[in-house]
Amino acid sequence: MISLIAIAAITFGFKTLQTADDGMARVHKIQGKYVFVMCEPVKDYTFQESKSSSFRKAMLGNRDIDDQMNVLIEKGREMVKDGKMEDFDAVLSKDGINSSYIKFKE
């Protein structure tokens, strides 16, 4: 009986952690762009484009998430410069390798 209660408490604790959606974070900026890693903005936005950094480059050349996000922001800036997408306000990423570029709605 006690183990059943413990399992229920642990399950409830994990569910509570997974659904935290109360806007308690400050967003970091890199090169003037907002960076959302393993989270997403509460503010409404439109999707601009997706991009992937090469896995090998991400693992060998970039040792921390700041470096990985810098690479993704640079790729986004190149796409804007080349006319492949409009300017973006932020980058969303779950792993520092794959990213989505977004523009906030006014």
Q: Determine the average pLDDT of the residues in 35-64.
A: 78
Has residue 38 been placed in a domain?
Answer: yes
What pTM does this model have?
0.70
**Helix, strand or coil, per DSSP, at residue 6:** helix
Residue 97 lies in a domain: yes
Inside any domain, residue 14: no
Residue 44 lies in a domain: yes
8-12, 57-61, 72-76: which range is least confident on average? Answer: 8-12
Structural domain boundaries, residue 56: 25-104
Q: How many domains does the chain have?
A: 1
Residue 30: name the closest of 60, 81, 68, 85 by CA: 68
For residues 34 and 2, which has the higher predicted lDDT (pLDDT)? 34
In a domain, 32, yes or no: yes
Q: Is residue 16 part of a domain?
A: no
Instruction: Examine residue 18 and state whether it is found in any structural domain, yes or no.
Output: no
String of DSSP letters for 27-81: -EEETTEEEEESS--SS-EEEEEEEE--HHHHHHT--SHHHHHHHHHHHHHHHHH
Cα gap 10→27, rounded to integer Å? 29
Give the percent of the chain with pLDDT over 70. Answer: 69
Q: Is the pLDDT of residue 74 over 80?
A: yes
64 or 78, greater pLDDT? 78
pLDDT tens string 4-42: 454 444 444 444 445 555 677 789 899 999 999 999 899
53, part of any domain = yes
